[in-house]
Structure 1
Amino acid sequence: MMLRTKITAVVAVAAALAMSLAALMSYRGVSNLVGDELERGLADRTSTVVTLLAAGLTPPGRPDMIEQVVSAQGAVRPLAPGRAALPVSPEALRVARTGKGESRVDMVVSETEYGTLTRPLPGGGAVMVGQSYEGATRLDNQALWRIAWTTAGAIGFAALVGWLVLGRILRPVRRLAVATRRITTTQDLATPLPTAGSDEIGQLTRSFAHMLAALRRSRAQQQQLVQDASHELRTPLTSVRGSAELLQRARGRLAPEDEEQILTTLVTETAALDDLVRELVELATDRHTEEEPEAVDLAVAAEDSAQRLRLRTGRTVLVIEDDTNPPVPVRARPRALQRCIDNLLSNAVKFSPEGTPIAMHIGGGRLAVRDQGPGIAPAERHAVFDRFYRGPRTQATPGSGLGLAIVHDLVTADAGTVFATTADGGGAEVGFTLPPYGQGGPNRPTGRRRYRKAL
């Protein structure tokens, strides 16, 4: 209602300005036209009186005019008895004395304004004709009031029509506002929105619908994450609690080797809990969303992650670039990309036997990490990116099942795609493809070892 009132007020003001301007211009035009007609009438009447007097005739009187003869000495002789005399101005006296030119003067006689015109007579003296402005003033005032009332009525009509039309135009907005208030009050994201049209309001409604759909997906994902997390946390927490209770009941009565085994279980499960909680926080918050995408050298990022893994685990990590399709700068968030590569390498370490190398193949905007594990069955190639997914052959492998899910979320957020397959010769090949940033990119650091091989 407030928006409708404001827009109606704007429409009324705009209409008032436009109509007032049009009325003012019309009034001035009519006023000028009436003034011109009065001047022509005064001039024609004066010419007629001069002609009749020159012919020895007396012109018939008119109620709206005063006509008189002015002698060269300034004496006045009214042509119509009983009518008030016009004061003789110096200009009129000059015309009567010289018999040349004419004099046009406005004056007030008996509280009535007259326009006077003085012209010389052929035999000497002059004729002075005064025309009353009373009728013209009355007509002018009537026209002014009529224009004012007409303008006011038109403005009111425009405001009324604007109010009614805006009520119909803004009806979808009111329906949308009611729906959004209901959603805000009930927190029910499934509340239907009004039907969207093809205009701007329809576009706004569709935008709200897309936003609600995104919120519903986000809420569903959050609920699923909480359910999955509670399920995954239950197993290590149960193990930690059981081991702690066993130590509490035994109170030093356990054999040293049994006590050592229980403590090892506690440390292992606690470390698993720490990794799980860290990855849950990473997955739920996505701390890298504040980064802006930029040109990132995929080969440099891969070498950095490989070097960290070598130092941390001592494993052999090969970075292999495709000579037929050299790596190109990709459009990505730098820290998010580094996190993806770290997760892929950590996943490969879990499934590769000790002492076997891990290889990263890079070509264009594609990066693939190959391990020496059991590979991935065709039915699992999409499921491995689901949260907490553990395949039949990897149930005994430590981990939370979140690493590849984080890779999926971060890569797709940067308009990339992920893949997982079984490599030729055994083992799994898991990676992603990111869109190229452009022709240019950051310079690669020198002095690092490179392994080049066609993919």
Structure 2
Amino acid sequence: MLRAKITLVVVAAAALAIALAATISYRQVSHVVGEQFDRALDDRAATVVTLLGVSRTPPPRPDSTEQVLTADGTVRALAPGRAVLTPSEAALRVARSGHGTAREDVTVADAEYGVLTTPLPGGGAVMVAQHYASAERIDHAFLWRIPWTTIAATALSALLSWLALDRILRPVRRLARATRTITTTQDLTTELPPAGKDEVGQLTRSFAAMLEALRRSRAQQQRLVQDASHELRTPLTSVRGSAELLQRARGRLAPSDEEQILGTLVTEAAALDALVRELVELATDRSTDEEPAEVDLVAVAEEAAHRCRGRTGRTVDVTADRPETVRARPRAVQRCVDNLLGNALKFSPEGTPVAVHIEGGRLCVRDRGPGIAPEERHSVFDRFYRGRRTQSVPGSGLGLAIVHDLVTADGGTVFAAGAPGGGAEVGFGYPVNSGRRVRR
């Protein structure tokens, strides 16, 4: 669970930070305690020296002991009943010379003392020993508090993290519930939770955009299926009616009638084959696996025109004005030019030429047909659309729709307009590669 994982990371980071801070604090505290101990020892030694200078005995303290050390090494305790400290060589040098100080740690009766030897003005020295018990109590108390403080702080950070993450991840849980509902019910109309301005809000907006794209895709698929079923019904009905007529007649038809019915069957079967092929092309877009490359529109147009002349015997003229290469999928561009030429030849009267003109990254095919009404120029690229002037011309209404889908997939645009003197101009354009003009 994401909440538990993040809480675990936060708790681990908090515990590490607390442990590191406690370790550094302990070192600092130990240093400060040591300094305070040395300062207290210095203050006690100064007090003892001052009191002895005025022939007064310092008042005893439970955690310290004092004694006078003469130059010959004789020791005299200043408080009865206290342990006698054995002078070291450093302490004897201070007593004999009357200069400097000596600091050392000694153990007396299993107790550790810090000892400071300070010279007396009249000769000799005074040895002041202070028990480390107070410093050790502070040290032990601090060490004892570190684990409990760490545990308490870690537990508090875990609780606060758990509660904070519950609030932070609440939009994520709502989004997850909505996506599970969509996955289970396949209902793309399910509303997503409101999107905020943070990263979770950006994720929600991305999901909303993806969901909207899925809605459009499903709507387009449903519309394609409905339109395809409508378009397929006509040729299928004609084929079935002709076949049933032949079946009922069983040789009783006149040869001319039988030839006419067979011709109808062949024509409708060919139309049905073309329609199914274009439907498959439109639904699968087999050019999507092709990588974009530099495409010479003039070369593509000339190749398509050559194929068209050989197949139909019609005149197809190709002209160019400052042509430039474009970046697109070569086979997709070839398919678009073939569709535009086929569409132009279908609507142009026999014996009239079809013109292809390339200017920059724009390719235009002009025919001599009935033209396209201004109000229909955006609709001609819709699937199965048939204009009022072309209702009687055979066709599926998918050729220009395929051109639209292929061109826009590569970042291009399509257009349709009326041609001067009659006919229509239909084509597409791609962004040109600056400086990559085709040399002819």
TM-score exceeds 0.5? yes
Partner letter of residue 132 of structure 2?
Y
Q: CA deviation at 1:93?
A: 4.3
- Residue aligning to 2:400: 404
Q: CA deviation at 1:249?
A: 4.4
Return 418-427 or 216-225, whichever deviates more.
418-427
- The question of 1:431 aligning with 2:427 is answered yes
Q: CA deviation at 1:53?
A: 3.8
- The question of 1:37 aligning with 2:33 is answered no
Q: Deviations over 1:321-378 (max 9, x none)?
A: 23xxx22333432222221111100101111222221101222332221112121222
Q: Deviations over 1:138-197 (max 9, x none)?
A: 122223444554444333333333322222222221111111111111110000111112
Partner letter of residue 129 of structure 2?
G
- The question of 1:223 aligning with 2:219 is answered no
| 1:164-179 mapped onto 2 (5 Å cutoff) | 164-179=163-178
1:243 and 1:293 mapped to 2: Cα distance? 47
2:274 and 2:209 mapped to 1: Cα distance? 35
- Residue aligning to 1:276: 275
- The question of 1:204 aligning with 2:200 is answered no
- The question of 1:106 aligning with 2:105 is answered yes
Q: 1:236–1:273: 8 Å Cα contact kept in structure 2? A: yes
Q: 1:78–1:85: 8 Å Cα contact kept in structure 2? A: yes
2:12 and 2:145 mapped to 1: Cα distance? 20
1:107 and 1:357 mapped to 2: Cα distance? 119
| 1:92-131 mapped onto 2 (5 Å cutoff) | 92-96=91-95, 99-121=98-120, 125-131=124-130
1:244 and 1:133 mapped to 2: Cα distance? 117
2:16 and 2:9 mapped to 1: Cα distance? 11
- Residue aligning to 1:352: 348
Instruction: Please report the RMSD computed on the Cα atoms of aligned residues, expressed in angstroms.
Output: 2.5
Provide the TM-score with structure 2 as the length reference: 0.91
Indicate which of 315, 340, 363 corresponds to 1:367: 363
Q: CA deviation at 1:247?
A: 4.0
Q: Aligned to 1:271, what secondary structure does the other structure show?
A: helix
Provide the TM-score with structure 1 as the length reference: 0.88
Q: CA deviation at 1:285?
A: 1.5
Q: Deviations over 1:86-139 (max 9, x none)?
A: 344443345445555432222332332211122344555543221111112112
1:7 and 1:438 mapped to 2: Cα distance? 51
Return 242-251 or 177-186, whichever deviates more.
242-251
- Residue aligning to 1:450: none
Q: Aligned to 1:438, what secondary structure does the other structure show?
A: strand
- Residue aligning to 1:161: 160
Return 188-197 or 258-267, whichever deviates more.
258-267
Q: Aligned to 1:440, what secondary structure does the other structure show?
A: strand
| 1:126-145 mapped onto 2 (5 Å cutoff) | 126-145=125-144
Give unmatched runs, 5+ long, in structure 1.
Answer: 447-455
Return 160-169 or 145-154, whichever deviates more.
145-154
Q: Deviations over 1:369-420 (max 9, x none)?
A: 1112121222322222111122233233222110011111122223332222
Q: Aligned to 2:127, what secondary structure does the other structure show?
A: strand
Indicate which of 325, 331, 334 corresponds to 1:338: 334
- Residue aligning to 1:386: 382
Q: Aligned to 2:275, what secondary structure does the other structure show?
A: helix
Return 217-226 or 255-264, whichever deviates more.
255-264
Number of residues of Structure 1 aligned to a counterpart in Structure 2: 440
Q: 1:366–1:434: 8 Å Cα contact kept in structure 2? A: yes
Return 296-305 or 349-358, whichever deviates more.
296-305
Q: Deviations over 1:58-100 (max 9, x none)?
A: 3222111122234556554322111122344443345445555
| 1:176-191 mapped onto 2 (5 Å cutoff) | 176-191=175-190
Q: Aligned to 1:304, what secondary structure does the other structure show?
A: helix
Q: Aligned to 1:426, what secondary structure does the other structure show?
A: coil
Partner letter of residue 422 of structure 1?
G
Give unmatched runs, 5+ long, in structure 2.
Answer: none
- Residue aligning to 1:24: 23
Runs ≥4 residues deviating over 6 A: none
Q: CA deviation at 1:33?
A: 1.7
- Residue aligning to 2:318: 319
Return 349-358 or 117-126, whichever deviates more.
117-126
Q: Aligned to 1:399, what secondary structure does the other structure show?
A: coil
2:237 and 2:355 mapped to 1: Cα distance? 37
Q: Deviations over 1:13-66 (max 9, x none)?
A: 333333333333333323222211110111222233344445544322211112
Q: 1:294–1:437: 8 Å Cα contact kept in structure 2? A: no
- Residue aligning to 1:64: 63
- Residue aligning to 1:233: 232
1:380 and 1:132 mapped to 2: Cα distance? 106
Give identity over the alignment, percent: 71
1:69 and 1:292 mapped to 2: Cα distance? 100
1:273 and 1:73 mapped to 2: Cα distance? 131
